[in-house]
Amino acid sequence: TRRLQPFSFDDRRYLREIYDNRSTRTLLICARQVEKSTSLANKILSYCCLIPHFKALYVSPSSTQTKEFSKTRIKEMIDTCPAIKTWFPSDLTDNVFEKRAINRSVINMRYAFLNADRVRGISVDFIAMDEFQDLLLDNIPVIEESASHSPFKWFMYSGTPKSLDNPIQYYWNTYS
């Protein structure tokens, strides 16, 4: 049986700057298996618990990746952490693509590989794009438009580059 441990930065000092970052745009360019998706989930859950009526959007390229994030990052944290579970009771909307909190915050999870149609019409405060290197560059402004009316307009992009011709390199060159 695996024993759950409280989250700690003791063996994750490399993550502290990510969590303490106050930038409105954060681009994580990292190797595989360094807790990028977990960091996105922690940010999403924290903001949704702390800020009433906060709306977060998670986007990945595929349905499979989005469902995996929903189950292993969001739902697992809600189910195993009593403090977070208090905010997200199962009698509110609780499905693979949407979670609702008691303070009326919402987590939407979508995928957008060939087009961004599944994201249209959603208004959010925070957008977390995972596996960013695999999203089509033309879809990203459409996804970002979901935050156009937000007072926050926070964006977090996360991925592992496979080449120099991908959204990660473009955003690095544009925003750094």
For residues 6-20, average pLDDT: 81
Q: List the beta bridge partners of residue 106.
A: 55, 100
Q: List the beta bridge partners of residue 159.
A: 29
Contact (CB, 8 A) for 91 and 122: no
Mean pLDDT check: name the lowest of 8-22, 29-43, 51-65, 91-105. Answer: 8-22
Q: What is the CA radius of gyration of the chain?
A: 16
Give the model's confidence band at 162: pLDDT under 50 very low, under 70 low, under 90 confident, else very high. confident
Whole-model pTM: value is 0.91
Q: What is the pLDDT of residues 64-106, one digit of tens each?
A: 999 999 999 999 999 999 999 999 998 887 799 999 999 999 9
